[in-house]
Structure 1
Amino acid sequence: MRPSKGGDGRLTAALDPQDQGPQDACGVFGVWAPGEDVAKLTYYGIYALQHRGQESAGIAVSNGRQILVYKDMGLVSQVFDESTLESLRGHVAIGHCRYSTTGAPTWHNAQPTFHPTAEGSIALAHNGNLINTAELADILAARNLDAELDLHLRMPGETTNDTAIVTQLLADHPGSTVEERAVELLPQVRGAFSFVWMTEQTLYAARDPQGIRPLVLGRLERGWVVASETAALDIVGASYIREIEPGEMVMVDEAGLRSRRFADAAPKHCLFEFVYLARPDTLMNDQRMHSVRVEIGRKLAKTYPVEADLVIPVPESGVPSAIGFAEASGIPYGTGLVKNSYVGRTFIQPSQTIRQLGIRLKLNPLRDVIEGKRLVVVDDSIVRGNTQRALIRMLREAGAKEIHVRIASPPVKWPCFYGIDFATRAELVANGLSPEEIGRSIDADSLGYISLEDLVEATNVPMDNLCRACFDGEYPIPLPDTEKLGKDLLEQRASLRTDADGLAVSTTGGGAVDALSRP
């Protein structure tokens, strides 16, 4: 079992591995700032993005002559300490916190990825998920780059993610610059990507033509910053300038900031970012996520009114929408569930006795507050329904008289191929049951989902500019035949190839030269 944040995005899968919900996309950060402590700036930047990935963390730094990469499994605060950061000196850096949607959750797949070239080296970090990994691997093979793999890369268990393929293809630029190579390569990359990469001298960032995953640009007094969310700019003291446009690549070096377009923009921003993924203090599409979620709660109250005594959120993701529901309904808002802030990602496997406690390790009801009350419980989403079922049982045991569940997203019926690791379609409870049936399944007195139209209206972004695939099955980037090709195979089929001798080799293995790592 791989430990990861789960349980409809809240309860750790280590506690309930059968109820793994929407996993966050990764977080990326980059800074070009001569004279600044770029390693520590990057540390704080990915610390601010920790919610986007908790499996591994890494930082790459260049001093102008070489790139050093340090990465390990665990949270940002577990991977880095003062002495490690002190050893990472330079003027340009990138950072990454990872949740795996492609490739196994191992050290070899931690990012940034790294690849040496005759002219220098490249380190790259990626937020998103590519859907044509096999095609890119074919390009790699056609250029005979497999011959360049060292023997230590021809070992099972090495790098198997789409990010490493892109890194190696970017590193292959004979007769051209990295910039020109990127302009040639990026139009061939399909899927969701916010790339941040670096050479010894230059910081680069690029966003896919649909802009599915977020990427923003910020300004320091003596440099520039790119990050997945504006919250990361805030924590390092950078001023928000703008979003990186879909289909845009930016470069920062001693000549300053410049921009190139590698594809026409066709915006399809991820709608689930507004519901859950992004931090509530993040600004996205000129909307503060907290304000959007409060408005979602207001719309829920108008669409699904109910007579009740108290509105409570499922912390933390349900808080803004619960506030909005209380405001619009006039029902008092209160804290009915106390969250244990220290229950998060864990590598410690629980015993069966502890596992049976389930959600109680994460949340505990305030009996004095909820006993005898008719409750409105506001949550961000329902995936399998196991978490809500356990939560409602716990609230009833604590004396709740009625429990009315309100959900701040439409029913999740389809998997995501663009960077969010939902359950498979067969496991999604809304794929087989109506809202009324789901309500009965989780033992709620009533259940109300916000409609897709109301959710889109709350974002102030046109429907046609949003990726809504997990709700309506309309995938903005054409996929392979997913009826025959399951999601796992889609992500993994390009991981391994066989050489002429029948030896299984990774086509995505990045180099480990000039890289620091823990033993």
Structure 2
Amino acid sequence: MNEIEWTPEKGEKCGIAGVYGAPKAVNFVVSLLADLQHRGQESAGAGTSDGRRLHVRVKKGLVSQVFPSSRLPSLPGRMAIGHTRYPTSGGFYPRFGQPYLHRKPNFLLAHNGNIPDVSDLEMDLRRHEIDPSGLSDSQLVAKAIGIRYQREKSLENAALQVFPNVKGAYSMLLMDLKYMIAVRDHYGLRPLSIGEVGDAYVFASETCAFGPIGAKHVRDVEPGELVSVSANGFDSKRFAEGKQKLDIFEFIYFARPDSMLLGKSVSEVRENFGRELAKEYPLDLDVIVPVPQSANEAALGYAQATGIPLKYWLIKGRDRRTFIEPTPEMQLQGVRQKLSPVPGAFNGMNVGFVEDSVVRGTSSRQLAAIAREMGAKKVRLLSASPPIRYPDFYGIDLPRQEDLIAHGRNEEEIAAALGLDSIHYLSYEGMIRATGLPESMFSTACFTGEYPLDIGRERKKVEGLPKEGA
């Protein structure tokens, strides 16, 4: 049987989780991390406080591999934070696994996102005679907080001094012996939700992680907000005037379909992507086939709107993915995901594949070739998002601009390069309509080149950007 060797074109971001006030808090955090595994599969870590000292375990591998039940008793305490990692800055394990333990003063930090321009942080450390060489963006933030914590004797006060000046994409959890702190960047580019289970507070990158531990979603951490939890209770402070600009790729690809973002069901929004595609491109097709898993809902929406049969003819191999390979070399040499077509599929048919997005086009090219080998008459591709023409600097591992298949090509040229009869992208306007939310609530930089946060030195690497201030 033909098999498509398929590696993810978009590296997942990281997932973070925290629990305050629960017996054996690490058990809850490990469960939360397991339901955030899709956000990062290179390493996993958790840290706890028993009120006297911090306990940390960080290791390469999946959550289930890093935290077998036999390891959990070594992480005592009623408060814990955890992290699943896909590397976006500073390289990969072991030096940059999280939670990061800052020493003297001791505290933990877990970060989801990326800070594209760290020059101000580096300058700050140098002023305090700390060499920033070789530190990741997360570690630079931790060092800056550590300087103030040493002086202020308060993790919260130190954080409130640092985060107003950190210009980047971040949702972070910090923890010392007594306090847990959650912060979200000025634009809320990365999600972070608050829940409750019994008398305990829960934090997680996505709401899908709450249900399995019996937690109730209360609200999201707001852009520019710092939330602290301690024996004194729950407190909220603003360190910046926030303006919501969630990365729209959370709806397109990253978030699990059973999560809620900005009050909207991810599954329903993805179905709406498909319905909008059907309005824009009512193609003459015999069958609609989603590329699993994140295109399933869009394909369903398209099929329902057009009446074209939906077939799940591409099967993702189970238990094949051990972790998302973070470099092209490792992708070529390491574990590859397999998409196996159902025997007898495609023969004599006009096939419409649905993908959540098209980045490099590698898997799309392979899909077209396999479908033709299996007898397809026509092979068309429907993308549930617009053409990606700009790289990401906020925590998605999208490639260099020159590697993007849509960079410098129109749709006919893209189809020819991928061996397709045609390719059809959801319009930008259709994408926004599908969310049911105002365009102003999103960062859409990968499609428009309009970066809500200054990307600093990275700006020189990108062609065709709108003029600043235009």
Q: TM-score, normalised by structure 1?
A: 0.84
1:68 and 2:55 equivalent? yes
1:285 and 2:262 equivalent? yes
Tell me which amino acid in the other structure corresponds to 1:163. S
Partner of residue 22, structure 1: 10
Partner of residue 127, structure 2: 142
Partner of residue 11, structure 1: 6
Q: 2:85 aligns with which of 98, 117, 126?
A: 98
CA 1:166/1:234 → structure 2, altered by over 3 Å: closer, same or farther? same
Deviation of 1:442 after TM superposition, in Å, equals 1.2
Partner of residue 466, structure 2: none
Q: State the distance in 1 between where 2:74 and 2:362 align.
A: 46
- SS of the aligned residue for 1:367 comes to coil
Partner of residue 128, structure 1: 113
- SS of the aligned residue for 2:318 comes to coil
Partner of residue 163, structure 2: 186
Deviation of 1:309 after TM superposition, in Å, equals 1.4
- Asked if structure 1 preserves the Cα contact closer than 8 Å seen for 2:42 and 2:323, the reply is no
Deviation of 1:222 after TM superposition, in Å, equals 2.1
- SS of the aligned residue for 1:390 comes to helix
Task: Give the alignment of 1:225-264 within 5 angstroms.
Answer: 225-264=202-241
- Asked if structure 2 preserves the Cα contact closer than 8 Å seen for 1:367 and 1:399, the reply is no
Task: Give the alignment of 1:288-437 within 5 angstroms.
Answer: 288-345=265-322, 362-437=338-413
Per-residue CA deviations over 1:126-167 (Å, capped at 9, x if unaligned) read 000012312102111211245xx9xxxxxx9xx631111111
- SS of the aligned residue for 2:456 comes to coil
Q: State the distance in 2 between where 1:84 and 1:50 align.
A: 19
- Asked if structure 2 preserves the Cα contact closer than 8 Å seen for 1:61 and 1:88, the reply is yes
Q: 1:462 aligns with which of 411, 435, 438?
A: 438
CA 1:288/1:408 → structure 2, altered by over 3 Å: closer, same or farther? same
Q: State the distance in 2 between where 1:124 and 1:229 align.
A: 18
Q: State the distance in 1 between where 2:380 and 2:366 align.
A: 15
Q: State the distance in 2 between where 1:483 and 1:88 align.
A: 43
Per-residue CA deviations over 1:277-297 (Å, capped at 9, x if unaligned) read 111110000111010000100
1:116 and 2:103 equivalent? yes
Aligned residues: 455
Q: TM-score, normalised by structure 2?
A: 0.92
Partner of residue 273, structure 1: 250
- Asked if structure 1 preserves the Cα contact closer than 8 Å seen for 2:40 and 2:324, the reply is no
Percent identical across equivalent pairs? 38
- Asked if structure 2 preserves the Cα contact closer than 8 Å seen for 1:212 and 1:267, the reply is yes
Partner of residue 482, structure 1: 458
Tell me which amino acid in the other structure corresponds to 1:33. G
When structure 1 is superposed on structure 2, of 304-313 and 205-214 the one drifting more is: 304-313
Q: State the distance in 1 between where 2:323 and 2:247 align.
A: 28
Deviation of 1:433 after TM superposition, in Å, equals 0.9
CA 1:244/1:486 → structure 2, altered by over 3 Å: closer, same or farther? same
Partner of residue 438, structure 1: 414
**CA RMSD, 1 decimal:** 2.4
- Consecutive unaligned residues of structure 2, counting only runs of 5 or more, are 464-470
Deviation of 1:482 after TM superposition, in Å, equals 2.9
CA 1:347/1:423 → structure 2, altered by over 3 Å: closer, same or farther? closer
Partner of residue 141, structure 2: 166
Deviation of 1:66 after TM superposition, in Å, equals 0.6
CA 1:243/1:82 → structure 2, altered by over 3 Å: closer, same or farther? same
Deviation of 1:367 after TM superposition, in Å, equals 3.0
Tell me which amino acid in the other structure corresponds to 1:32. Y
Deviation of 1:345 after TM superposition, in Å, equals 3.6
Deviation of 1:479 after TM superposition, in Å, equals 2.0
Per-residue CA deviations over 1:22-57 (Å, capped at 9, x if unaligned) read 1111100011024x2211111111111111111111
Q: State the distance in 1 between where 2:382 and 2:320 align.
A: 25
- Asked if structure 2 preserves the Cα contact closer than 8 Å seen for 1:23 and 1:421, the reply is yes
- Asked if structure 1 preserves the Cα contact closer than 8 Å seen for 2:37 and 2:62, the reply is yes
CA 1:43/1:329 → structure 2, altered by over 3 Å: closer, same or farther? same
Deviation of 1:272 after TM superposition, in Å, equals 0.8
Partner of residue 451, structure 1: 427
- SS of the aligned residue for 2:188 comes to coil
Per-residue CA deviations over 1:458-481 (Å, capped at 9, x if unaligned) read 112211221010011000012214
Q: State the distance in 1 between where 2:462 and 2:181 align.
A: 33
- Asked if structure 2 preserves the Cα contact closer than 8 Å seen for 1:209 and 1:264, the reply is yes
Tell me which amino acid in the other structure corresponds to 2:434. A
Q: State the distance in 2 between where 1:193 and 1:363 align.
A: 33
Deviation of 1:486 after TM superposition, in Å, equals 7.8
Q: State the distance in 1 between where 2:361 and 2:202 align.
A: 40
Q: State the distance in 1 between where 2:118 and 2:332 align.
A: 37
CA 1:288/1:347 → structure 2, altered by over 3 Å: closer, same or farther? closer
Tell me which amino acid in the other structure corresponds to 1:178. L
Q: State the distance in 2 between where 1:143 and 1:411 align.
A: 45
Q: State the distance in 2 between where 1:315 and 1:200 align.
A: 43
Q: State the distance in 2 between where 1:268 and 1:109 align.
A: 27
Q: State the distance in 1 between where 2:187 and 2:94 align.
A: 30
Q: State the distance in 1 between where 2:268 and 2:110 align.
A: 30
Deviation of 1:449 after TM superposition, in Å, equals 0.4
1:210 and 2:187 equivalent? yes
Q: State the distance in 1 between where 2:435 and 2:291 align.
A: 21
Deviation of 1:446 after TM superposition, in Å, equals 1.9
- Asked if structure 1 preserves the Cα contact closer than 8 Å seen for 2:116 and 2:458, the reply is no
Per-residue CA deviations over 1:393-443 (Å, capped at 9, x if unaligned) read 111112222222100111111111110010100111101211121112112
Deviation of 1:348 after TM superposition, in Å, equals 10
Per-residue CA deviations over 1:204-255 (Å, capped at 9, x if unaligned) read 1000010000000001102100110001112221100011100001011112
Q: State the distance in 2 between where 1:347 and 1:238 align.
A: 29
Q: State the distance in 2 between where 1:340 and 1:175 align.
A: 53
- SS of the aligned residue for 2:368 comes to helix
CA 1:243/1:483 → structure 2, altered by over 3 Å: closer, same or farther? closer
- Asked if structure 1 preserves the Cα contact closer than 8 Å seen for 2:17 and 2:203, the reply is yes
Greater relative contact order structure (CA < 8 Å, 6+ sep): 1
Q: State the distance in 2 between where 1:259 and 1:348 align.
A: 38
Q: State the distance in 2 between where 1:416 and 1:84 align.
A: 37
